[in-house]
Amino acid sequence: NAGVTQTPKFQVLKTGQSMTLQCAQDMNHEYMSWYRQDPGMGLRLIHYSVGAGITDQGEVPNGYNVSRSTTEDFPLRLLSAAPSQTSVYFCASRTGTGITGELFFGEGSRLTVL
Partner 1 sequence: DAKTTQPTSMDCAEGRAANLPCNHSTISGNEYVYWYRQIHSQGPQYIIHGLKNNETNEMASLIITEDRKSSTLILPHATLRDTAVYYCIVRVLNSGGSNYKLTFGKGTLLTVNP
Positions 19 through 58 that interact with partner 1 (CB under 8 A): 31, 33, 35, 40-45, 48, 50, 56, 58
Whichever of 62 and 101 has its CB closer to partner 1, that residue is 101
Q: By rule CB under 8 A, what count of residues binds partner 1?
A: 30
Q: Which stretch binds partner 1 (CB under 8 A): 10-18, 20-28, 65-73, 88-96?
A: 88-96
Distance (Å) of CA 58 to CA 48, 68, 107, 114: 7, 15, 20, 25
Q: Does the N-terminal peptide bond of residue 83 adopt cis geometry, omega within 30 degrees of 0?
A: no
Whichever of 31 and 52 has its CB closer to partner 1, that residue is 31
Nearest CA-CA partner of 78 in 11, 20, 8: 20
CA 80 distance to own-chain centroid: 17
Nearest CA-CA partner of 109 in 46, 15, 62, 52: 46
Q: Is 96 in the site for partner 1 (CB under 8 A)?
A: yes
Binding site for partner 1 (CB under 8 A): 4, 31, 33, 35, 40-45, 48, 50, 56, 58-59, 90, 92, 94, 96-99, 101-108
